[in-house]
Chain A
């Protein structure tokens, strides 16, 4: 394709995105090479799907076409970590785990803990992936302070900067967060970091009925306790385990854990983090859903799920993951969406077995801003070549 980029290779079944095998795969090694690739694709009118660690390819709908898969794992440099400023600049292909290891050596962390193995920063941004500690640190929109993107025509654009406080210009980082590669390619990211808390305490409470977690999570959220995460793992209509994680200085976590046991009316204290903290529920035969809703409606959301559905809830935040058996999903999904709508609830398909995938409405209703979203898409990608069809309303 160019002198600097390794030539594209033909795509194969292992490269498939939602069952669509790309014609070619290219792996650029720098932001400029991504721009070269995009300019060439524009000249040829090719459809492009950017990917990173490929850990969340099913989170968006399958693309209508994929002439070229742009593999960003070659953009793997941590460009600049300024520990004194608690900021880091890293290219999109850097794996989140590798970044955590590097900034961890300075006693710092990026406050994102999605559980998908091998996830890259670009993928985390594009899929807006998050985990249990979103309760404490927020999500990409709260931590991403600068971004470099490459548009469909090869234009390289930056927004934000490398200072946390900055209101100059539109925040394109927000726009590209969760856009699933439909507006352009995320090439480099700049983040706000946090110090690693020195001590941890975990309170675990077994609940015969998962629905009891709703009022407990609300009580925690309205208390002066400052947990990093409140996780519910169990099944709708069945038993569940509530895990409350405190991370701070030793004096604080000890006191807070005791107070949490009082507030919850029970629970075991420990220093060990459950190995499966934040793991998405279910298996390959299930349809995995992400539910978002007004935070205090957790009990109502659990009640709206088919009985026995495996659930992992970030209980105090208004986000849950549910694994519905594939055979029930096509019927259950519309009912679930209708039932949680009064709580501003939405359900998005993150993974579905091939057999049922095409029968599911991946994103569900979007509301009255869908036309505006389409207009944004038209401005950024007028030829509709970027991950076509992967997003809401066929965007």
Chain B
């Protein structure tokens, strides 16, 4: 072990660390620089901040004590689960507390008749489906990181996944939450019933990226495992044909469980990394999954095959069993990491466009990349227009990282001017807060701040995230006039 570095704490944080040790136990409070550095970033590794203090909570009371002491001291806190987020949502505050929830890992027994289960925030996403499986139930949201990501993090980010085309996002699958507000007060939002009198604060809390409080318990809705699942992998010689297939499926009134698309570069990377056996020479592939009653899936699957053929698919492969299905998904789910095989570095981007704009946006993205002499690999949830362009670059080439970052930013703006969003599932976090002003007016952002001020008037819960400019809650937002940026772009009334 290396020499223990002296903690570098201000008087304020040093005093807080002492109070935290007294409240939650010496062994759960870290201030040693080498130890706290473990938590300096989440999945967005190019943003790093070393927290002053790390608290490893093991109970709800530890969370309450930590938050209350932070509130009393006026010290910011950032809650963190597994740290797999891709927007820097769990980036620590240098003068604050990083509250680690991954030790809160209890799952209550599955309530099969109500199709619910109550879990602690550190529980891993996939564990929920594992526990539900013996009851023929499953937890629908399935982000690609589901082997390691936590439910608490999923709730903070309103996590999606490949199957949200049909099943919706985390917000559609959380029934209740016990939340520690930023002053340490504990409230219960939602519950086991589908609705409750009062404002839907649960709906507002989910996806608030840790800025409204810390969830210490969550009641999740489970879905019945469908009778049949069928998956096919389709190879195309052009991106336009692949995109056209997606539109035609939707136009035929079919709602697949998932429609995923990868372009040539992403296919090359996935092949190199996991040998998933995608069709050789494909310029684009679709992974299409249908689920539901057997007869329905069979009939619609035939229809989808016909649509794909009419759109010049040169190879259609149908998963014969679970192993083949797993292999088809493996290529898709490992695509981000796989890109490391074909490029020294890359930025993962997350933007959304209306599905019908897919061909033109992809063409424009290619033009923008060519202009900068950069490569962009595309992996995306085609069914709901959620793009994940991976901008490839080489750190060794001077200025290329900067160019790549610029391109990634330009792609987001392209999403917004196309009528879409700067993020479909990764969140705004630290990375995209300046982009919020591209999508929303100052009035929109001020109105969102009203909600934050109701929950967190002192602004200590995950400060510096989501919003472009910090705002004190005492201020009354002024009434401004002016055109909405999307309207200014000539897109008419968009929202």
**Hey, which bits of chain A sit against chain B, CB under 8 A?**
39, 79-80, 82-87, 89, 107, 128, 138-139, 141-142, 146-149, 151, 153-172, 174-175, 177-179, 183, 188, 190, 194-198, 218, 221-226, 248-249, 251-252, 255-256, 292-297, 317-319, 343-346, 348, 363-364, 366-373, 375-376, 378-380, 382, 391-393
**Hey, which bits of chain B sit against chain A, CB under 8 A?**
111-116, 135-136, 157-158, 160, 164, 168-169, 171-172, 181, 185-189, 191-201, 203-204, 206-208, 224-227, 247, 250-251, 253-255, 292-296, 299-300, 352-356, 381, 384-386, 419-428, 432, 436, 439-441, 443-448, 450-455, 466, 476-477, 479, 484, 492-495
Q: Would you list 23 pairs from A and B whose C-beta atoms are within 8 A, ordered by A residue? A: A84-B354, A138-B172, A146-B495, A148-B495, A151-B447, A156-B443, A161-B420, A163-B352, A165-B385, A167-B425, A168-B439, A169-B448, A177-B200, A190-B495, A195-B254, A225-B293, A248-B293, A249-B300, A293-B193, A294-B114, A297-B114, A318-B193, A367-B188
A305 to B492 alpha-carbon distance, docked (Å): 52
Of B420, B447, B455, the residue contacting A163 (CB under 8 A) is B420
Name the residue in A166, A223, A226, A345 with the highest tally of chain B Cβ atoms < 10 Å from its Cβ. Answer: A166
CB closest residue in chain A, given B422: A168
Contact assessment for A84 and B423 in the assembled complex, using a CB-CB cutoff below 8 Å: no
A226 to B205 alpha-carbon distance, docked (Å): 30
Contact assessment for A346 and B193 in the assembled complex, using a CB-CB cutoff below 8 Å: yes
Contact assessment for A167 and B207 in the assembled complex, using a CB-CB cutoff below 8 Å: yes
User: Apart from A146-B495, A175-B200, A368-B186, what 15 extra A-B contacts exist at CB < 8 Å?
Assistant: A151-B447, A153-B479, A154-B479, A163-B353, A165-B386, A166-B421, A170-B207, A178-B199, A183-B199, A249-B300, A346-B193, A346-B196, A366-B196, A369-B198, A371-B185
Contact assessment for B495 and A294 in the assembled complex, using a CB-CB cutoff below 8 Å: no
Contact assessment for B164 and A165 in the assembled complex, using a CB-CB cutoff below 8 Å: yes
* Given contact pairs A168-B428, A294-B193, A379-B453, A163 touches B201 in the complex (Cβ within 8 A): no
**Across-interface contacts of A155 in B (CB, < 8 A):** 443, 446-447, 477, 479
**Across-interface contacts of A142 in B (CB, < 8 A):** 168, 172
A251 to B450 alpha-carbon distance, docked (Å): 51
A358 to B208 alpha-carbon distance, docked (Å): 38
Of B115, B299, B436, the residue contacting A249 (CB under 8 A) is B299
* Given contact pairs A169-B440, A221-B115, A178 touches B193 in the complex (Cβ within 8 A): no
A288 to chain B, nearest CB (A): 15
CB closest residue in chain B, given A77: B493
Contact assessment for A222 and B356 in the assembled complex, using a CB-CB cutoff below 8 Å: no
**Across-interface contacts of B199 in A (CB, < 8 A):** 175, 178-179, 183, 373, 376
A238 to B385 alpha-carbon distance, docked (Å): 50
CB closest residue in chain A, given B452: A170
* Given contact pairs A142-B168, A167-B425, A172 touches B447 in the complex (Cβ within 8 A): yes
Contact assessment for B439 and A165 in the assembled complex, using a CB-CB cutoff below 8 Å: no
CB closest residue in chain B, given A153: B479
How many A-B pairs have beta carbons closer than 8 Å: the answer is 294
Contact assessment for B197 and A380 in the assembled complex, using a CB-CB cutoff below 8 Å: no
Contact assessment for A84 and B425 in the assembled complex, using a CB-CB cutoff below 8 Å: no
A376 to B355 alpha-carbon distance, docked (Å): 35
A296 to B192 alpha-carbon distance, docked (Å): 10
Contact assessment for B207 and A171 in the assembled complex, using a CB-CB cutoff below 8 Å: yes
CB closest residue in chain A, given B159: A167
Name the residue in B157, B197, B296, B466 with the highest tally of chain A Cβ atoms < 10 Å from its Cβ. Answer: B197
A175 to chain B, nearest CB (A): 5
Contact assessment for A162 and B495 in the assembled complex, using a CB-CB cutoff below 8 Å: yes
Of B114, B247, B292, B300, the residue contacting A226 (CB under 8 A) is B292
Name the residue in B255, B386, B448 with the highest tally of chain A Cβ atoms < 10 Å from its Cβ. Answer: B448
Name the residue in A174, A255, A256, A391 with the highest tally of chain B Cβ atoms < 10 Å from its Cβ. Answer: A174
Contact assessment for A294 and B116 in the assembled complex, using a CB-CB cutoff below 8 Å: yes
**Across-interface contacts of A161 in B (CB, < 8 A):** 352, 419-421, 439, 494-495
* Given contact pairs A160-B495, A175-B204, A294-B116, A165 touches B352 in the complex (Cβ within 8 A): yes
B186 to chain A, nearest CB (A): 7
Contact assessment for A226 and B196 in the assembled complex, using a CB-CB cutoff below 8 Å: no
Name the residue in B426, B444, B445 with the highest tally of chain A Cβ atoms < 10 Å from its Cβ. Answer: B444
A89 to B386 alpha-carbon distance, docked (Å): 20
Name the residue in B192, B199, B427 with the highest tally of chain A Cβ atoms < 10 Å from its Cβ. Answer: B199
Of B135, B293, B427, the residue contacting A224 (CB under 8 A) is B293
Contact assessment for A252 and B421 in the assembled complex, using a CB-CB cutoff below 8 Å: no
CB closest residue in chain A, given B448: A170
**Across-interface contacts of B466 in A (CB, < 8 A):** 169-170
**Across-interface contacts of A364 in B (CB, < 8 A):** 197
**Across-interface contacts of B114 in A (CB, < 8 A):** 294-297
CB closest residue in chain A, given B194: A318
Contact assessment for B419 and A392 in the assembled complex, using a CB-CB cutoff below 8 Å: no
A83 to B476 alpha-carbon distance, docked (Å): 40
**Across-interface contacts of B455 in A (CB, < 8 A):** 372, 375
CB closest residue in chain B, given A294: B192
* Given contact pairs A157-B444, A369-B188, A379-B453, A317 touches B194 in the complex (Cβ within 8 A): yes
Contact assessment for B419 and A89 in the assembled complex, using a CB-CB cutoff below 8 Å: no
Name the residue in B164, B352, B492, B495 with the highest tally of chain A Cβ atoms < 10 Å from its Cβ. Answer: B495
**Across-interface contacts of B451 in A (CB, < 8 A):** 170, 172, 175, 376, 379
* Given contact pairs A179-B199, A251-B299, A373-B198, A166 touches B423 in the complex (Cβ within 8 A): yes
- What are the 9 tightest A-B residue pairs by CB atom distance, in nearest-first order? A174-B203, A195-B253, A157-B447, A224-B227, A252-B296, A296-B113, A84-B356, A166-B421, A158-B495
Contact assessment for B495 and A319 in the assembled complex, using a CB-CB cutoff below 8 Å: no
Contact assessment for B172 and A188 in the assembled complex, using a CB-CB cutoff below 8 Å: no
**Across-interface contacts of A366 in B (CB, < 8 A):** 196-198
Contact assessment for B295 and A392 in the assembled complex, using a CB-CB cutoff below 8 Å: no
Contact assessment for A255 and B295 in the assembled complex, using a CB-CB cutoff below 8 Å: yes
A252 to chain B, nearest CB (A): 4
**Across-interface contacts of A162 in B (CB, < 8 A):** 354, 419, 494-495
* Given contact pairs A86-B250, A171-B203, A172-B447, A163 touches B354 in the complex (Cβ within 8 A): yes
Contact assessment for A292 and B354 in the assembled complex, using a CB-CB cutoff below 8 Å: no
